[in-house]
Amino acid sequence: MAPSTRRRVLASAGALLSVGVAGGDTASEDARSEPLSDASRPNAPRNRTSARESQVETVAANLEVPWGTDVSSDGTLYFTERPGRVNRLGSDGVELLAEIDDTHAVGEGGLLGLALHPEFPAAPFLYLFQTYEDDGIVQRILRYRLSGGELEREAVVFDGIPGAERHTGGRLAFGPDGDLYASVGDADEPEKAQNPETLHGSILRLEADGSVPDCRGPVFSYGHRNPEGLAFHPATGALYSTEHGPDEDDEINVLEAGNNYGWPVATGESDDPSFTDPLATYTPTIAPASAAFHDGAFYFGALAGEHLHRVEFGPDGRTVESDERLFEGEFGRVRSVVDGSDGLYFVTSNRDGRGTPANADDRILRWTP
């Protein structure tokens, strides 16, 4: 493995941007929608908050499609770049930990999700969701050990995840139960998302070593199109997801074991009781690409919508009480969000082939709501 190097350094005292935060209305990562309008959103009430001033700080710049993110107990941000790099962001800037040379960065694939072991750094393991090539496009979950500032590959913990140039999924998150959850897209074979015996269009649940909990199958939920956000409610432990719709009905869901979320038979709400309805939907689509809870609110990045999105749920954790678009048009395509001890971090994705990069893109930004 190549030795660690300092690169792209932008200290945390970086550029401060004063931008408006406005409420608003609400495609997908697959394509840009029509100009955004006051179209209806069946399950998300419109919130017309007034604009207010807030500062956003650029903490890293000149990155190439940052994707997976996680924060350690000491506040250090670890993140991937889709072409195959793993980095960490500290007080001295961005440090390259490894280049994963066998990453196949094609279409929406590449080095995607990242999750730290729940006992990190005592258990010094990073988990990575990787697209690679083996007689076609395949995906897998890797475990790396962090030792002396370098990453060393320890194991392939789960292999054979379907891949394609679109609908790759790729998010990783450890739950309060200590299990590892992974989002898998339908890999452009939508009909397979209705078969829980396949991995297409599913959320996987695995032990940290890649085995399946209690000898059950790895599929936790199914009937998904392209879920890219996973976040656990800090109080209840419930698992929330965001999912790309086709040309309508991007979704926020609460995921429950064994449930079928409808794709491709249904999007949005359905009259069929065998499908689980989403908590909120967005039409025109905005391409929700992540999920995180911060100070009690639910956040996600919107790629096609080009904003940071905030949702507040009622006491039941399901009723949407407010729904806002933040920094609309300020930073371009917003992908990952992650809860940090010193604010909410979010990353741009303007160099992914579908955006219009600014000189400093891609960037990691920090905001204190």
Could you say which residues of the chain have pLDDT below 70?
Answer: 1-54
d(CA 229, CA 252): 9
pLDDT, residue 92, reads 86
**Predicted local distance difference test score (pLDDT) of residue 10:** 42
Structural domain boundaries in the chain: 5-367
pLDDT digits (tens, 9 = 90+) for 299-345: 999 999 999 999 999 999 999 999 999 999 999 999 999 999 999 99
Which CATH topology does 5-367 take? Neuraminidase (2.120.10)
* Tens of pLDDT, residues 79-111: 999 999 999 998 889 999 999 999 999 999 999
pLDDT confidence of residue 91: 83
Contact assessment for residue 246 and residue 3, using Cβ atoms and an 8 Å cutoff: no
The span from the CA of 45 to the CA of 276, in Å, is 20
Position 215 scores a pLDDT of 74
- Reference 278, options 258, 245, 254; nearest CA is 254
CA–CA separation, 230 vs 173, rounded Å? Answer: 7
How many C-beta atoms surround the C-beta of residue 316 within 10 A? 7
Residue 16 confidence (pLDDT): 52
Question: pTM for the whole thing?
Answer: 0.89
